[in-house]
A = this chain, B = another copy of it.
Amino acid sequence: MSAYEKLERRFRRLANLGGAAAVLQWDWATVMPSGGAEARAGQLAELDVMRHEIMTDAELADLLIEAEAAVAAADLSPWQQANVREMRHRWAHANALPADLVAAFSKAASACELVWREARAESDFAAFRKAFEPLLALIREKAAAKSAALGLAPYDALIDGYDPGFTCAEIDVIFDDLAGFLPDFLAQVLDKQAGEAAPLSPAGPFPTARQRELSRVLMERLGFDFAHGRLDESHHPFCGGVAEDVRITTRYDESDFASSVMAVLHETGHALYERGLPAEWRHQPVGEARSMSLHESQSLLMEMQACRGAEFFSFAAPLMRQAFSAPDSGGPGADAAFTAQNLHRVALRVAPGYIRVDADEVTYPAHIMLRYGLEKALIAGDLQAADLPGAWQDGMEKYLGLKPRNDGEGCLQDIHWAGGDVGYFPSYTLGALIAAQLFDSARGQIAGLRAGLAEGEFTALLSWLRDAVHSQASRYPSQQLITRASGRRLGSEAFKAHLKARYLG
C-alpha cells in the first residue's frame, strides 16, 4: 500500500469519527434529554481526543512527506494531489498547537461558554470578563502558535482555520469598499421605505404543524431529498449530520411563520451543498465543503438571492396562503397580507438593529465589520477584554447609528468569542458576497432562471450549483473555485449591484 493509500485510510477513519460526532451533536441539540449531557460530552470529548491522536501521530507526518514526494513526482491524479494538499492543511492546524495548550484552551472555552450563557441573559459583562480574560490569553497564544506553524500573521492564521486562503489583506480591501458603500446606501433604502406605505403583517397564529408541512414542501422544491435528510427543531437553526444524511433544524414561532420558513430555506442551501459533494471523494478532505464562506454562500444564495426575490414569492405566496388559511388552522384566510407582492415587501424590510442574527441583508455586513475590526484589535493586543463594551458601543454607533442599551444586546450577544471562536465572523459576509457573485453568474448562464423560480422550479439552479460548486468540493482553493464558477475573483461588485437592484431599483 502506498503512502497515499495509507493516508486515505487514516483520513477515512477521521471522517467516520467526525460523522459519528456530527450525529451525536445533532442528537444533543434536538432530542437528547437534559440528563444525558454529561455522558454525551464525555463521548464527544473522547472522539475529539482520538481524532487529535490520529492527526498528531508521528507516522502520519512521515506518510504526508512521502505522499508529497509522490505529488512532486506527478504520480497522483489531480484530485489526489488536491487531497494531499488538504491533508497537509489539516495536519498543519492540528499540529500547530502543543497538547497542553489544546487542553487548556478547550477547558477555558467550555468554562467561558457556560458563564456566557448566564452573563448574556443578565447582561453581566463583569462576570463574562472574568471567564473571558484567561480564554483571550489562550486565543492569543493559539494565534501565535498557528502563526509560527503556518507562516501567516496571527489573525490570518485563525481565519485560515475556517476559511483557508482568505487573509486580512484581501478582506480589508473588500470590507473597506463595503464600509464606503453601505452607510449612504442604507440611508437611501430607509428613506425610500419610509416614503412607502408599510407592508401588511400577516396575522397569526401560524400553527407549528402547518409551518412544518409548508417547510417540507418548499425544501423538496429546492431539491432536498428526505431519503437522505431530516427537518427537526432546535433552539438555533443549523445544518448537521453527514452528507448522506443531512439534518437541518429550525424553530417555530406561531406568531411569525416567515422567520422559520426563511431559516429553513437558508439551512436547505447548506444541506444541498453537503448532498452535492462528490460521492467518490466522500470521507476524504478533498471531498469536503470548501470553507465556511463557501458554505454560507450556498445558504445565502438560496435564502437571500433565490428566495427573497419577487419570483420566488409569486410561487410561494399561494402555498403560504393555503398553509395558513385552512378551516382548522386558525389562520388568516386569503387576505391582502398574503399577496405575493405584500409578502415580498415584508421580506425586504430593512431596519438597523442590535442583533446580528436578526439583521436583514443590508445591515448584516455592518455587524460583521464591527466584529472583524474588534477581533483584529483583540489579537493584535490593541484591545483588551475590558475594552469590549465601549468599543462595541462606538462601533454600533459608527456603523448603524445605534447604541445598545446593555451588553446583552451588545458585545455579549454571540456565542463565538465565548466558545473561543475568533476568525469565523468574516465568513458570513464573504459568504454573502460569494452568493451574490455566483447567483449573478448563474443568472447569466441559465436561460429563464427567473421565470423558473416563479414556478418553483429550482432544478436548473441546483444543477448549475452542483456543477460549479458542490461537485468541486475542496478540489481548488477558494478564490480559484470562485473564479472558475463566476469568471472573476471575489469582489463586492455583484453584492452591491444586487442590493441596488433589489432595494432601490
Contacts and interface: CB of A to CB of B under 8 A. Distances in A.
A417 B47 CA distance: 33
Interface in A11-70: 13, 16-17, 19-21, 23-24, 27, 31-36, 38-40, 42-43, 45-47, 50
Nearest to A226: B33
Given A24-B24, A50-B50, A245 B19 contact: no
A242 B23 CA distance: 16
B243 A33 contact: no
Interface stretch (A227-235, A311-319, A392-400): A227-235
A19 B244 CA distance: 22
B36 A244 contact: yes
Contacts of A226: 33
Contacts of A241: 36
A225 interface: yes
A50 B53 CA distance: 13
A242 B46 contact: no
A32 B23 CA distance: 10
Nearest to A243: B39
Given A13-B46, A27-B27, A46-B17, A35 B230 contact: no
A43 B38 CA distance: 22
B32 A46 contact: no
Nearest to A44: B20
A38 B230 contact: no
Interface residues on A, range: 35 or more
How many of these chains are in the complex? Answer: 2
A35 to B, nearest CB: 4
Contacts of A243: 39
Nearest to A38: B244
Contacts of A39: 19, 242-245
Contacts of A19: 39, 42-43
A20 B46 contact: yes
Q: Which of A23, A27, A241, A242 has the most CB of B within 10 A?
A: A23
A305 B89 CA distance: 61
Interface string A194-234: 00000000000000000000000000000001111110000
Q: Which of A36, A38, A47, A283 has the most CB of B within 10 A?
A: A36
Nearest to A16: B46
Contacts of A42: 16, 19, 283
A229 B33 contact: yes
B242 A35 contact: no
Contacts of A283: 42
Contacts of A245: 32-33, 35-36, 39-40
A24 B242 CA distance: 13
Contacts of A230: 31, 33
A13 B45 CA distance: 10
Contacts of A225: 35
Given A13-B46, A42-B16, A27 B23 contact: yes
A42 B19 CA distance: 9
Given A27-B23, A27-B27, A227 B46 contact: no
Given A33-B230, A230-B33, A20 B24 contact: yes
Q: Which of A230, A244, A245 has the most CB of B within 10 A?
A: A245
Q: Which of A20, A32, A40, A225 has the most CB of B within 10 A?
A: A20
Given A20-B46, A20-B47, A43-B23, A244 B31 contact: no
A366 B308 CA distance: 66
A279 to B, nearest CB: 10
A234 to B, nearest CB: 14
A336 B236 CA distance: 50
Contact of A35 (B23, B24, B227): B227
7 contacts: A13-B50, A17-B43, A23-B23, A33-B226, A33-B229, A35-B244, A50-B50
Given A16-B45, A20-B43, 5 more contacts: A27-B27, A31-B230, A35-B229, A36-B241, A40-B245
Interface of A: 13, 16-17, 19-21, 23-24, 27, 31-36, 38-40, 42-43, 45-47, 50, 225-230, 241-245, 283
